[in-house]
Amino acid sequence: MHTAQQQQVHDGAMIEDDRRDVAADLETIDLDVAAVAAALSQRLHAAGVPVTPERTVNLARALTLIGPASRRQLYWTARAVFVSSPAHVPAFDSVFASIFSS
């Protein structure tokens, strides 16, 4: 069982983690939406993720709606559009990292 002091430290660490997440979201990426959607689609397809033209268009539409995106927003938006099975997550993560990791 946690003591009050341990809980406070734990809660403080959680708050600190949340602040880091917010700071990461403030860094935005300017995107050429069509180029990003096409490149990501092609690489995902080559990695074995089932990509359709409709999903590529859906990603472009979603990116247009969210505007300038943080890397985190881009990741989750693209993942929601392209990943239809947990089996595709490792390939998606690998492709995304190869394109957007700094």
Identify whether 87 is part of a domain: yes
Domain count of the fold of the chain? 1
CA distance 62 to 60: 6
Q: What is the pLDDT of residues 19-29, one digit of tens each?
A: 444 444 455 66
Which residues constitute the domain of residue 57? 29-100
Within a domain: 20: no
Model's pTM, two decimal places? 0.68
The SS3 call for residue 69 is strand
Question: Is 4 part of any domain?
Answer: no
- Position 54 pLDDT exceeds 90: yes
Q: Which residues contact 74 (CB under 8 A, 6 or more apart)?
A: 29, 31, 36, 63, 100
